Structure 1
Amino acid sequence: AVVDAPGEFRPGQPGSRRHLAFGAGPHRCVGAQLARMEAAVVVAEAAPLLDGVTVVRPPWCPDNLTFRMPDAFVVRRV
Structure 2
Amino acid sequence: MIPDRCSHCKGKLEYGKTEFIARVGEKIIVIKEIPAYICNQCGEAYFTPEISRKIDEIMEDFHNDKICCRPVAAGEIEISA
TM > 0.5 between the two?
A: no
**Larger RCO of the pair (alpha carbons < 8 Å, separation 6+):** 1
**Structure (1/2) with the larger helix percentage:** 1
Structure (1 or 2) with the larger CA radius of gyration? 1
**Structure (1/2) with the larger strand percentage:** 2
TM-score by length of 1: 0.27
